[in-house]
Structure 1
């Protein structure tokens, strides 16, 4: 397979998941078939053709999202680009990519066959009916209208048909378990313990088993420039009931005991192991993001000069990177940012007066608002608070030193304004 063939083949596979596309992409299939037969390192000429039937399929890719018991249909148009009539017969076959196989019995294509005259077209109706007992998941099939396949330089267990509709079927149901909250972000101090709660609501008619465990495929990394996490999973203890009763609410309790020598970042996940097939694996997790750090003990120092007697205005603001995992804490144990600000001039320590204070924040409702929280403040999650303070004093000619000792913020900005 030459380099052009590889590029075109990759484009074709990725496009299978893109849904409905224009008929202009038919040329891509023809180019792949051409490229497969070209000698290594040779780029095929645009007008060069080989022995395969020229049929245009529109759309070439489509997808259905259905619940068990539902059905849906769509119309596919085939256009004959040949100068003679072409016979086609749709056949449901396996797709050359992953996923569990859709039962061919779910799919009907009408008409069962057709002869398309030269330059003519034929419409087909594709109907997918998902049975009541179908398993949840996403998979795909090909509906091949001819038996012509893409040539490959090696044996292929699943042929890639040239004249085929790529059909993706996503079978889903409404989850019976609702999770509040699926994300826990916080700023922690070494040597201290912290407690969190995750509420689970069962809106179904039967009890649902759960078995929360630390996920084996945690995203373990410590943050920028750090190879190891701040602490390991054994610092986290999970206390949980064995099930959530029908129509009831249960609480999963999480305790984090931060080691005394911990520092840096921890990213991980708790897999709730919810016995509900409608809850996909990724949705049944609680994502954890912690920052373990130590308050600075020495202030930031900035020196500057004044050449005239003018008023001085100093502005200090804490970091505003809301929601960023390495920024301001978002958990219930976060503390409000503050500053110890000192200004020393030619006459000694200046009399700084706070003339304006601004407190800003960003609040969300966690994306999913469980019904039992609609009248409660528990739906609100504050993604960090920002403090802005403005100081003023009289400025004198000479050298000045600004000192700022920040607390409960990982970054801050300053500005020094000389004059009105």
Structure 2
């Protein structure tokens, strides 16, 4: 072969390659198919046979609406999918609905589980037809995710060398075979509280088992020190602060309690801490690949009781008839009653014991929403509560006053000072 012939073949190859565009399987809109990129190989095309390759790359112009279907189904039951196929050709197309099992990833869906409606497989030009695909799962099927392709022609495409050919006109069917869980955490999975340094707090985690066999229970602690730290993250909690008391299993039809007690020492630094309890449960009705459902997050804030009161100053005019301080606090630490000792210091340095004149509780309730962590609380959802204390003195002298506020079991509080004038 001379040089001129080689140059001619090279020019032909360059002209053909840019004009080729592959049909994307699963497209939801009709597409004119001109062929396939030169890097792709198709069934029936032999290397060096340019005419044959060009012919094979002209795919039938069909489209699949919503090329991905998924559903959940229990063993022994069935589920159906509706797959719509459209014909963009100028003539009728004979369809061949059949199941193709994936060879690249995913657990294959057994062909014997799938049946496809095939009463009329002739699709006229410009026509659409919906096929019903039924997946019947046997009662002894293993739990997990299964996948298959429902192809409507025998045309295939290979995207990369060495990979198996895939159908050009196909819908993906994804089925999750599941059972209703028999083991549940019946209490909260997200805890947030405050613990005074040198004190302790016990979390009670309830685990229920509605199954017919005992379930092992092996709670373990994961602390921040075993995770990847990042700037600004919570303090590192010590494993020695925790004690876990739990039975070794949850009997069928019973509820077990896991007691997790955290005891930060008096020397513990104040701040936020995180820990996680992995209950070590194995639910026969759940796939082994997911264990997030049996993990409990513990978030707590360590605080210390101050030795000296909080001080703030305010001015009093000659027209002031009374002065009051209003103190507001949220949920008390360790579920104990919050309180305050309030003393006023007059401009001349004398102290005046404030009289507590009012205590108020308030909260926010929603009839159409979820709780602060997304949990359902029935028809009424509480979004937190607050307690308010009012302390007052009458006929204060004109000048600069000081309010001394000592909190008890109140990790945080707000204050407001009011002067009533005549």
- Mark yes or no: TM-score above 0.5: yes
* Residue 412 (str. 1) matches residue 413 (str. 2): yes
1:276 corresponds to: 283
* Residue 303 (str. 1) matches residue 303 (str. 2): no
**Which whole-Å deviations, capped at 9, do the CAs of 1:383-409 have from their partners, x for residues lacking one?**
875321123334543223334333434
Larger of the two Rg values belongs to structure: 2
1:77 corresponds to: 84
1:134 corresponds to: 141
Quick one: which of 196, 202, 209 aligns to 2:216? Answer: 209
Alpha-carbon separation, structure 2, partners of 1:218 and 1:141 = 43
SS of structure 1 residue aligned to 2:300: strand
Quick check: 2:244–2:260 contact (8 Å CA) kept in 1?
A: yes
Q: CA deviation at 1:316?
A: 1.5
User: Scaled by the length of structure 1, what TM-score is found?
Assistant: 0.69
Quick one: which of 345, 353, 356 aligns to 1:354? Answer: 356
**Which whole-Å deviations, capped at 9, do the CAs of 1:294-322 have from their partners, x for residues lacking one?**
233344333333445234343221147xx
Alpha-carbon separation, structure 2, partners of 1:213 and 1:301 = 45
Count of matched residue positions in the alignment of Structure 1 and Structure 2:
361
What is the root-mean-square deviation in Å for CA atoms of aligned residues? 4.4
**Which whole-Å deviations, capped at 9, do the CAs of 1:265-292 have from their partners, x for residues lacking one?**
3323222232322245222233322222
SS of structure 1 residue aligned to 2:135: strand
> What pairs with 1:24-63 in structure 2 (closer than 5 Å)?
26-27=28-29, 53-63=60-70
Alpha-carbon separation, structure 2, partners of 1:120 and 1:86 = 10
Alpha-carbon separation, structure 2, partners of 1:220 and 1:355 = 50
Quick check: 2:71–2:175 contact (8 Å CA) kept in 1?
A: yes
> What pairs with 1:371-382 in structure 2 (closer than 5 Å)?
none
Quick check: 1:84–1:118 contact (8 Å CA) kept in 2?
A: yes
Quick check: 2:207–2:255 contact (8 Å CA) kept in 1?
A: yes
2:403 corresponds to: 402
Greater alpha carbon shift after TM alignment, 104-113 vs 269-278: 104-113
Q: CA deviation at 1:125?
A: 0.3
Point out where structure 1 has 5 or more consecutive residues left out of the alignment. Answer: 1-11, 17-24, 38-49, 321-327, 370-380
2:393 corresponds to: 393
Quick check: 1:68–1:131 contact (8 Å CA) kept in 2?
A: yes
1:288 corresponds to: 298
* Residue 110 (str. 1) matches residue 112 (str. 2): no
Alpha-carbon separation, structure 1, partners of 2:94 and 2:405 = 81
Quick check: 2:217–2:249 contact (8 Å CA) kept in 1?
A: yes
1:3 corresponds to: none
Quick check: 2:89–2:125 contact (8 Å CA) kept in 1?
A: yes
SS of structure 1 residue aligned to 2:206: strand
Q: Is the alpha carbon distance of 1:123 and 1:313 closer, same or farther for their aligned partners in structure 2, counting shifts above 3 Å?
A: same
Alpha-carbon separation, structure 1, partners of 2:309 and 2:258 = 41
Q: Is the alpha carbon distance of 1:195 and 1:353 closer, same or farther for their aligned partners in structure 2, counting shifts above 3 Å?
A: closer
User: Scaled by the length of structure 2, what TM-score is found?
Assistant: 0.68
2:41 corresponds to: none
> What pairs with 1:318-333 in structure 2 (closer than 5 Å)?
318-319=329-330, 333=334
Q: CA deviation at 1:69?
A: 1.1
Alpha-carbon separation, structure 2, partners of 1:156 and 1:299 = 76
